[in-house]
Chains A and B, each alone.
Chain A
Amino acid sequence: MRWEETVVEEATADKEDTSAPETVVQSSVPQPKDDFQEELVIRPLHSGDIYASFQFRTLWETDFMRGNKVSHYRLFPKSLGQVISKFSVRELHISFTQGYWRTMQWGQPFLPSPPGAELWVWFQDSVTDVDGTWKELTNVLSGIFCASLNFIDSTNTVQPSASFKPLGIGNVTDHRFLRYATLPREIVCTENLTPWKKLLPCGSKAGLAVLLKSEKLFHSSFHSQAVHIRPVCQDWQCKTTSWELRQTLNVVFDLHTPGQGKLEWSLFKMFSRTLTEACPLASSSKIYIDITDDPQGEQFEVSPATHLLSQAMVLGDRRTFSVYDLTQQITFGTVRSLNLLIRWKSSEDMLRPLLHAERYVAGYGLQTGEIHTLMYNNHPYRSFPVLLLDSVPWYLRLYIHTLTVTSKGKDNKPSYIHYQPSKDRVRPHLLEMLVQLPPNSVTEVTVQFERALLKWTEYTPDPNHGFYVGSSVISSLVPSIVAMDTNSTREQPLFSSFFPCKEESSYFMRVYTEPLLVNLPTPDFSMPYNVICLTCTVVAVGYGSLYNLLTRSFQIEEPSPGLAKRIANIIRKMRGVPPL
């Protein structure tokens, strides 16, 4: 809750007013430097699924880069604060995702993320050994989030030159201080959610975080949790800066999983919990429900009803939301608990998203192949440029001379190409291209590759599963239908204020493709045992028989006589007669 300076006008002349000693002095309580907001946005999707996006933001006016260390932490988690100051981090973005975001069925997410784990960090320009700091940072983060981030090393780290510009303020744009890595194989489960929840000021005990129960969250089509740290301006003149920590969790619940099939969702059905209070440390705690598709309430029904409406520009589209303010006691009603119920009828097809991408591997056999990346521009008459970032591991040897970019059957030359070839076991391929997508077209990027044979110690314990290639990243400024508000520091819902907006007529969008699963030529690891058995058998049977045949000699031997004959022989010996 925001504090305000309380100014009390002292009673001027009434000295007999001694009954109630209200000694509220003119307090000079300073404005707190940290602030916490939480929000939940629920958007029903056209396919019947429902998309819930949690955002928790902590703003703190402090300077981690100062000489004297920050020691008093209140809302900002201490583990992340120490990471920032120890490793001189300017921006940190880490996400853990299970599932793939289906753009054509679900539209655009508020915050996109690729399957697996993704980490990109901008370091301060005071760092001298960026690679060493990066390695230590990944190890520390693997301990904080219980993930195998220590597998990030030089073989899967790249330095993109144009794709991942800083999202916070700052004037360092030398990409030597940027590192980007993905782990497409990384599994996300409760052990990643537990430390993520512990970073929140209220933990999972109060506020919106009580809804985060792992049994429901992981029984979904898509689950993504992320942590974003960046410095932001406090006001439009940018006189003071503060550090912003955003923790986001996006989840898409499948229509058919609970077995019902009706287009009816409630908080209890999604999360198996209802809300009883807001987080006491939060200055704002709100739930937004997207009712743009039906503002009159004919096809849509939300209960309990609310009169608070809000309009916001999100992803180039003006949308209307019903707002529930959890800091007001009236929201919870007489039952002291809030269980939102959303019912709607399926409507016409949704608008096709403007930018969409796919990727797949073509070819046959275990020697060569071809990677195809398809980018769809669904705008009817505007063309716009996109920046494609591809990071391919060294064991798929790309032949860059076979790179082709075609749109509508014709060659489409990229205006900017940055290519860094791979080095075996040291670094991966990095390909960044700026491609202009013509309106209403499909652009196809193809490149041929050859699969390498790894050393036998480099195979994972389950090599027949295949090897992953991380998602391609497509970043672009997409033209928007409606003019956007570029004043980014005004009070706005969190979901619409993440990406900075500089132009009125376009907005920033990032799309991730699928990761690829590629089989490398894999030896049969049971062969050493088989070979030993076979060889020993051949040697024993073949050589042994031959040796016996050549060296064995046969002697005739009389069988031993029976008992009667033996007694007779003894008697004969005594008589001196030759035996039988």
Chain B
Amino acid sequence: FLGEQCCTMKILTLLSLLATHLSASSVNIEENAGQFFSSGHTNNWAVLVCTSRFWFNYRHVANTLSVYRSVKRLGIPDSHIVLMLADDMACNHRNPKPATVFSHKNMELNVYGDDVEVDYRGYEVTVENFLRVLTGRLPPSTPRSKRLLSDDRSNILIYLTGHGGNGFLKFQDSEEISNVELADAFEQMWQKRRYNELLFIIDTCQGASMYERFYSPNLMALASSQVGEDSLSHQPDLAIGVHLMDRYTFYLLEFLEDIHPSSKANMNDLFKVCPKSQCVSTPGHRTDLFLRDPGSALITDFFGSVRKVEITMETINLTEPIQQVDGSVSDGSSVVPPGVHR
């Protein structure tokens, strides 16, 4: 009797242990799946714009190309990058080393590289074209490489550099874009569901004025200087004869060189880039419109195109919406608690 009872007891305990273990591991796979979809985006785009013309604005082209280089290195392909350069510095006749654009003096780092594709160049970089790219209202014969084909699950990085002032950014010395126009363009993008989250970085004088009018959700903005301050350039190169980079983007590039596709650095680290001691101006940022906590947003969410791949032997039911790890659901649908399904 005791033997039989013992056996059945043992079998029962074993079975219950097995059941709890299995249910625990299936809860783990649910959590893993929750973490998998936690950022809410499936593709990455970048719009990088240099708005200045003429040889003495070499540093603005170098700024844009260094961000282009970082973004490409972290995985965003050329087909997802819209690069707009208002003037050609690399093959300019004043360039003592043709087909190169350097970011460090003594010509250490050639940010132009051998594999660059510029989508809008020269006279094509205008306020109208920039706004058309953002809102998607382009003539039907525009080629794909010149379009921003983002959807509601795209994270977009927008980087602007050039000469600016309180409330405006100058395009090619002949026209300006105001902060109101920019805010309205982003609202158009939000209404048409053209982005999931948007990171806006601007490196100009009085750059913080450009983001003070934003009112659409899921926007995070960084600027290199506050209203009333000038953004300064970093270092001249005597062989080339002009200043090579702006301070904010120089330290941003240094920061990004340490980021690799599996890095876990988050936005709070990005806000610390270039303090006043290095930048002379005070960089600013704005996160009140961003629905997630900036500490949970990874750098690679915007600067890289990281494909999350995890191998698992378990099965998971995806017919019900997955509860995200931090409890938020990005598209506003109602949250259904996940059951333990097999």
Contacts and interface: CB of A to CB of B under 8 A. Distances in A.
Interface of A: 98, 135-136, 139-140, 142-144, 146-148, 150-151, 187-191, 194-195, 213-215, 217-219, 460-462, 525
B97 interface: yes
Contacts of A214: 99, 114
Contacts of B141: 135-136, 139-140
Question: Which 8 pairs across A and B sit closest by C-beta, in order of nearness?
Answer: A143-B143, A189-B91, A139-B141, A461-B172, A218-B99, A461-B174, A218-B98, A191-B118
A461 B173 contact: yes
Nearest to B119: A146
By secondary structure, the B interface counts as loop
B305 interface: no
A98 B98 CA distance: 12
A211 to B, nearest CB: 13
A143 B116 contact: no
Nearest to A142: B143
Contact of A98 (B91, B142, B143): B91
Contacts of A98: 91
Contact of A187 (B91, B112, B116, B143): B91
A446 to B, nearest CB: 30
B116 A191 contact: yes
Contacts of A143: 119, 142-146
Nearest to B121: A148
18 contacts: A136-B141, A139-B143, A143-B145, A189-B88, A189-B90, A189-B91, A189-B99, A190-B90, A190-B116, A194-B114, A195-B117, A214-B99, A214-B114, A215-B114, A217-B99, A219-B97, A461-B173, A461-B174
A219 B219 CA distance: 44
A525 B98 CA distance: 32
Contact of B88 (A135, A187, A460, A461): A187
Given A461-B53, A461-B172, A188 B98 contact: no
Contacts of A189: 88, 90-91, 99
Interface in B68-103: 88, 90-91, 97-100
The residue in A98, A187, A190, A194 that gathers the most chain B C-beta atoms within 10 A of its C-beta is A190
Nearest to B78: A194
Nearest to B143: A143
A525 to B, nearest CB: 7
A251 B172 CA distance: 32
B122 interface: yes
Contact of A218 (B91, B122, B124): B91
Contact of A140 (B100, B121, B122, B143): B143
A132 to B, nearest CB: 9
Nearest to A140: B143
Nearest to B171: A461
B54 A194 contact: no
A191 B139 CA distance: 23
A189 B145 CA distance: 18
Interface string B152-163: 000000000000
Contacts of A147: 121
B1 interface: no
B310 interface: no
B143 A219 contact: no
A147 B146 CA distance: 11
B99 A190 contact: yes
B295 to A, nearest CB: 38
Contact of A219 (B99, B114, B119): B99
A156 to B, nearest CB: 14
Contacts of A140: 141, 143
A515 to B, nearest CB: 15
Contacts of B123: 148, 151, 460-461
A215 B142 CA distance: 30
Interface string B52-73: 0110000000000000000000
Contact of A148 (B53, B90, B124, B173): B124
Interface string B130-144: 000000000101111
A194 B143 contact: no
Contacts of B173: 461-462
Contacts of B112: 190
Nearest to B92: A187
B115 interface: yes
A362 to B, nearest CB: 25
Contacts of A462: 53-54, 173
A190 B110 CA distance: 13
Nearest to A459: B174
Contacts of A215: 97-100, 114
A426 B117 CA distance: 32
A195 B122 CA distance: 18
Contacts of B113: 190
Contact of A525 (B124, B146, B174): B174
A195 B142 CA distance: 17
B290 to A, nearest CB: 34
B91 A188 contact: yes
A139 B172 CA distance: 23
Given A143-B144, A187-B91, A460-B123, A194 B116 contact: yes
Contacts of B99: 189-190, 214-215, 217-219
Contacts of A148: 121-124
A214 to B, nearest CB: 4
A213 B90 CA distance: 14
Nearest to A214: B99
Nearest to B144: A143
A187 B144 contact: no
Nearest to B83: A191
B268 to A, nearest CB: 36
Contact of A191 (B117, B124, B142, B144): B117
A151 B126 CA distance: 14
Contacts of A187: 88, 91, 121-122
A462 B139 CA distance: 26
B121 A219 contact: no
A192 B54 CA distance: 21
Contacts of B90: 189-190, 218
B165 to A, nearest CB: 14
A140 B142 CA distance: 7
Given A142-B146, A147-B121, A217-B99, 9 more contacts: A143-B144, A148-B121, A187-B121, A188-B91, A189-B99, A191-B117, A194-B115, A195-B117, A218-B90
Contacts of B122: 148, 187
Nearest to A186: B122
A80 to B, nearest CB: 14
Contact of A150 (B54, B88, B98, B124): B124
A525 B142 CA distance: 31
The residue in B54, B88, B121, B146 that gathers the most chain A C-beta atoms within 10 A of its C-beta is B121
B115 to A, nearest CB: 6
A144 B143 contact: yes
Contacts of A219: 97-99
B72 to A, nearest CB: 12
A98 B172 CA distance: 23
A144 B117 CA distance: 10
Interface string B26-66: 00000000000000000000000000011000000000000
B77 to A, nearest CB: 13
Interface string B172-184: 1110000000000
Contacts of B139: 139
